[in-house]
């Protein structure tokens, strides 16, 4: 092959034309640009000194022969590409998804081949320009430039088909987290994590890291596979974040730096099958599962470190999801297990049934249920969608759990039923959600009263700058669905309350935006002595002010201030009564490092005072707690 190249180079070194206009400067020759392009692409090498001499006399036949030899060189390179392409599986041949290492090699080879193909395409264009003057001679030698272009186009299409079938992306994230105390007393962070009371800044640091690779491949038109693999100490650091919802009964979930772990975060195959005259979309494997805030939605596990993968609100479960749809409806059936014990992913995927002061004592292992949506009204401006969610969850054979705020007897199953409506009418966006959670032991109901949640709201934009939401919420004390319906201070999923709330959003300018949220609740009065629960005389108010400012095209500043104030007048926490107050001030600065890279810096000041109610002190062991949290996250996507 090397000798062939030498011969071609020698023949094409003298490609100037006797019929062309003679000029002492070779750069003025009409074909010089084409010669230079062929030299740049490796088809020509020029004279030993690197020069091109298009004005050197050459017969028309000799030039035609040189062009033909160049064609054969390109054709041989095309054949080599064709043989490499044939080593890939034909599109109609089914095969399992490749491994990470094999797929990486294939993608790199495809990328190199595509670059080679682009070079050959440029070479053909250059040869076509050169061949215009001697087209007759070339035709007599059986060389068809048009045919060469057609072959290139067909090969390009095959490359595009192959590269479209496989894709991958990755991300690398580092996080630093540290806490300290102002008064040598502990406080609870937003994550429900108690801060080290020593007050020493360098005694409570954690560094977490995560490398993730997501691979997606299409076996054929009907089968798609996707998987995300993680090498990380972040999942061990998180532990079991969903358990933090129960701040009063469950032990604090301390976030501690753990050993690096390897986990399969997602891995599933999607396909479609015709059943009963309809098309069913089927997803099998470790898949994301999420419905509504009051039925099934995962709590954001980490307020301070920015790992977007864990903020989508979906649980990762092992199982199957069946879906079908019609003109106005969508139906999903699922059967899943979360009995994962051999990886940190098991803890991160646990499904606890909990609110801020009640929960079950163990996570669920198995789930079965459905989700139905129906478009009751569908128009260009007005629409209404009605949804129904129902599922049952159990803890597995030979195991039981207890309802910690109503421990009358053991339980082995929890059913959740939810009904929701959402839509837009006359530019008013609205929503309604109603849900129940029923705890069973064998076939009997252990908890079937005071187990309802209701939320209704309406939103309206008064102008391009001003908009808001107004709503009413009631969450009874024994409602413990594994959802995520809100946060007040470090208390996730508030319960045993009823009252109204509002949010006002205002856009000061394109660079500055602000919002104010207010919650005004009183106790539901559903829990009677000797059990403790908020009564109608107990009040809870919360204000959250948030502002976002674009300091610079790359610098973005966010400021948040939250105030939570109780008025305890009943014997909820007998014999203590008082007016506990919590304050959180958070500053977050984000910097855009360029495409696919970002840096985030955060600092939060916590000032919590129980004022005579130790249970609402905002931290263990004292009625007043002040502390700080510092965190930074650096992420790169590739």
- Whether residue 608 contacts residue 582, with contact meaning beta carbons closer than 8 Å, is answered with yes
In 3D space, the residue among 550, 474, 468 whose CA is nearest the CA of residue 509 turns out to be: 550
Report the C-alpha gap between 348 and 241 in whole angstroms.
7
In 3D space, the residue among 258, 273, 261 whose CA is nearest the CA of residue 230 turns out to be: 261
Per DSSP, the chain holds a count of helices (H) and strands (E) of 8, 25
What does the block give as tokens for 284?
Answer: 């099998």
- In our burial notation (b when 16+ CB lie closer than 10 A, e otherwise), range 99-131 reads eeeebeebbeebeebbebbebbbebbebbbebb
**3-state secondary structure at position 108:** helix
Confidence band, pLDDT 50/70/90 cuts, at residue 135: low
pLDDT for 97 equals 44
Report the C-alpha gap between 543 and 548 in whole angstroms.
17
In 3D space, the residue among 34, 56, 155, 166 whose CA is nearest the CA of residue 102 turns out to be: 166
pLDDT for 327 equals 87
- Whether residue 317 contacts residue 367, with contact meaning beta carbons closer than 8 Å, is answered with yes
- Whether residue 474 contacts residue 495, with contact meaning beta carbons closer than 8 Å, is answered with no
Cβ atoms within 10 Å, residue 87: 8
- Whether residue 494 contacts residue 475, with contact meaning beta carbons closer than 8 Å, is answered with yes
- Cα-only R_g, the chain: 34
- Could you tell me how many residues make up the chain? 638
Q: What is the largest CA-CA distance in the chain?
A: 112
Instruction: Enumerate domains of the chain plus CATH numbers.
Output: 2-143 (no CATH), 166-637 (2.40.160)
Using the Cα atoms of residue 246, residue 247, residue 249 and residue 253 in order, give the sign of their dihedral. positive
Q: Which residue has the higher pLDDT, 94 or 471?
A: 471
Report the C-alpha gap between 74 and 69 in whole angstroms.
9
First-to-last CA distance in the chain?
38
What does the block give as tokens for 141?
Answer: 């030698």
Task: Please give the DSSP secondary-structure letter assigned to residue 578.
Answer: B
**3-state secondary structure at position 155:** helix
Using alpha carbons only, what angle is made at residue 180 by residues 176 and 184, rounded to the nearest 5 degrees?
A: 165
Q: Which residue has the higher pLDDT, 156 or 50?
A: 156
The answer on pLDDT for 418 being more than 90 is yes
- Whether residue 359 contacts residue 401, with contact meaning beta carbons closer than 8 Å, is answered with no
Around 380, how many Cα atoms within 13 Å sit in the side-chain half-sphere?
A: 0
Q: Which single residue is written with the structure tokens 């899943």? A: 336
Regarding beta strands 354-355 and 383-394, do their DSSP bridges make them parallel or antiparallel, or are they unpaired? unpaired
Q: Which residue has the higher pLDDT, 248 or 524?
A: 524
Regarding beta strands 428-441 and 413-425, do their DSSP bridges make them parallel or antiparallel, or are they unpaired? antiparallel
Report the C-alpha gap between 285 and 270 in whole angstroms.
9
Report the C-alpha gap between 148 and 128 in whole angstroms.
10
pLDDT for 297 equals 94
Q: Which single residue is written with the structure tokens 């009413």? A: 472
- Whether residue 291 contacts residue 390, with contact meaning beta carbons closer than 8 Å, is answered with no
**3-state secondary structure at position 5:** helix
Report the C-alpha gap between 453 and 522 in whole angstroms.
15
602-624 per-position pLDDT tens digit: 999 999 998 888 888 888 766 67
The answer on pLDDT for 44 being more than 80 is no
Residues 6+ away with beta carbon under 8 Å from 190: 303, 304, 487, 489, 490, 584, 604
Cβ atoms within 10 Å, residue 398: 6
In this structure, of 46-50, 76-80, 480-484, the range with the lowest mean pLDDT score is 46-50
pLDDT for 26 equals 53
- In our burial notation (b when 16+ CB lie closer than 10 A, e otherwise), range 229-249 reads bbebbbbbbbbbbbbbbbbee
Using alpha carbons only, what angle is made at residue 387 by residues 278 and 493, rounded to the nearest 5 degrees?
A: 135
Confidence band, pLDDT 50/70/90 cuts, at residue 14: very low
What does the block give as tokens for 340?
Answer: 């994962």
What does the block give as tokens for 349?
Answer: 């995927």
What does the block give as tokens for 390?
Answer: 């129902």
What does the block give as tokens for 46?
Answer: 């020029």
The answer on pLDDT for 136 being more than 70 is no
pLDDT for 347 equals 76
The answer on pLDDT for 143 being more than 90 is no
DSSP 69-98: HHHHHHHHHHHHHHHHHHTSPPTTS--PPP
pLDDT for 28 equals 58
Report the C-alpha gap between 51 and 39 in whole angstroms.
10
194-228 per-position pLDDT tens digit: 888 776 766 788 899 999 999 988 888 789 999 99
Report the C-alpha gap between 524 and 616 in whole angstroms.
18
The answer on pLDDT for 489 being more than 50 is yes
């Amino acid at each position: 092959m090397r000798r062939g190249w030498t011969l071609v180079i020698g023949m094409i070194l003298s490609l100037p034309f006797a019929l062309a206009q003679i000029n002492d400067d070779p750069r003025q020759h009409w074909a010089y640009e084409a010669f230079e392009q062929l030299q740049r692409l490796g088809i020509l090498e020029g004279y030993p000194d690197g020069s091109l001499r298009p004005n050197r006399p050459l017969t028309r036949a000799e030039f035609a022969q040189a062009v033909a030899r160049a064609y054969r060189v390109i054709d041989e390179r095309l054949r080599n590409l064709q043989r490499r392409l044939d080593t890939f599986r034909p599109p109609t041949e089914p095969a399992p998804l490749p491994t990470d290492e094999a797929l990486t090699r294939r993608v790199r080879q495809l990328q190199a081949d595509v670059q080679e193909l682009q070079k050959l395409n440029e070479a053909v264009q250059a040869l076509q320009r050169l061949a215009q003057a001697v087209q007759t001679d070339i035709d007599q030698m059986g060389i068809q430039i048009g045919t060469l272009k057609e072959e290139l186009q067909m090969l390009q299409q095959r490359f595009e088909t192959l590269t479209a079938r496989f894709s991958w992306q990755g991300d690398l994230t580092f996080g630093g987290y540290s806490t300290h105390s102002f008064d040598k007393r502990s406080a609870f962070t937003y994550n429900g994590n108690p801060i080290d009371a020593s007050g020493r800044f360098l005694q409570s640091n954690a560094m977490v890291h995560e490398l993730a690779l997501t691979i997606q491949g299409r076996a054929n038109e009907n089968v798609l596979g996707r998987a995300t693999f993680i090498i990380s100490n972040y999942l061990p650091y998180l532990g079991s974040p969903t358990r933090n919802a129960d701040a009063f009964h469950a032990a604090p979930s301390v976030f501690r730096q753990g050993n690096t772990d390897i986990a399969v975060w997602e891995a599933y195959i999607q396909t479609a099958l015709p059943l009963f005259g309809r098309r069913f979309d089927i997803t099998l494997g470790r898949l994301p599962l999420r419905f509504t805030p009051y039925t099934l939605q995962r709590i954001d596990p980490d307020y301070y470190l920015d790992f977007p993968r864990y903020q989508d609100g979906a649980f990762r479960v092992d199982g199957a999801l069946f879906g079908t749809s019609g003109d106005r409806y969508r139906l999903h059936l699922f059967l899943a297990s979360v009995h994962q014990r051999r990886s940190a992913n098991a803890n991160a995927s646990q499904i606890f049934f909990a609110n801020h002061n009640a929960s079950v004592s163990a996570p669920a292992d198995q789930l079965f249920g459905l989700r139905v949506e129906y478009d009751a009204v569908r128009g260009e401006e007005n629409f209404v969608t009605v949804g129904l969610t129902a599922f049952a969850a159990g803890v597995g054979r030979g195991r039981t759990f207890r309802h910690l705020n109503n421990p009358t007897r053991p339980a082995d199953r929890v059913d959740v039923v939810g009904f929701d409506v959402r839509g837009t009418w006359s530019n008013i966006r609205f929503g309604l959600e109603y849900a129940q959670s029923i705890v069973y032991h064998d076939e009997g109901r252990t908890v079937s009263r005071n187990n309802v949640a209701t939320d209704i709201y309406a939103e309206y934009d008064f102008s391009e700058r001003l908009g808001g939401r107004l709503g009413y919420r009631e969450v009874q004390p024994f409602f413990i669905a594994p959802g995520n319906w809100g946060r007040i201070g470090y208390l996730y999923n508030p319960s045993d309350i009823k009252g109204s709330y509002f949010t006002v959003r205002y856009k000061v300018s394109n660079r500055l935006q602000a919002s104010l949220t207010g919650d005004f609740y009183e106790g539901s009065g559903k829990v009677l002595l000797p059990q403790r629960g908020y009564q109608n005389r107990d009040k809870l108010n919360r204000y959250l002010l948030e502002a976002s400012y674009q300091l610079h095209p790359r610098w973005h500043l966010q400021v948040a201030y939250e105030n939570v104030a109780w008025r305890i007048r009943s014997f909820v926490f007998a014999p203590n009564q008082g007016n506990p107050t919590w304050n959180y001030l958070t500053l977050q600065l984000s910097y855009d490092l360029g495409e696919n890279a970002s840096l985030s810096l955060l600092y939060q000041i916590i000032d919590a005072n129980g004022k005579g109610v130790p249970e609402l002190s905002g931290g263990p062991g004292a009625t007043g707690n002040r502390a700080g949290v510092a965190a930074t996250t650096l992420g790169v996507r590739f």
